[in-house]
Amino acid sequence: MVPAALLLCFASALLFYLASPQQRLRARPLPSWIRLAALAFAASGAGAWIDVLGLGAGLFTALTALMLGWVGLPYAAWYASRGERR
């Protein structure tokens, strides 16, 4: 259950990032309705973490996993664009 919860949170962070107008991984952002799918993934991931760890720890673990994805994706985009310029 833990790998599924982590995957759901990371997929949610990725979809939120790719639907943002400020994203740098694609030429154009994904359509805005993708944010609803990202929200559903985030809620499912939070539910999975809550099921495994309980309410308090599960909620904060889900938020931590989402934050890890949101912090890491801009760095991944920077690294990918750095490689294209060489």
Does the structure show a pLDDT above 80 at 84? no
Q: Which residue has the tokens 């694609």?
A: 26
Mean pLDDT across the chain:
94
Mean pLDDT of 1-11: 97
Polymer length in residues for the chain: 86
pLDDT tens by residue, 34-61: 999 999 999 999 999 999 999 999 999 9
Q: In this predicted structure, what is the pLDDT of residue 86?
A: 57
Any idea where the domains of the chain sit in the sequence?
2-85
Q: pTM of this prediction? A: 0.90
Q: In this predicted structure, what is the pLDDT of residue 85?
A: 64
First to last CA, the chain: 41
Tell me the torsion sign for CA atoms 18, 70, 73, 38. Answer: negative
Mean pLDDT of 2-30: 95
C-alpha triplet 2, 44, 59: angle, nearest 5°? 70
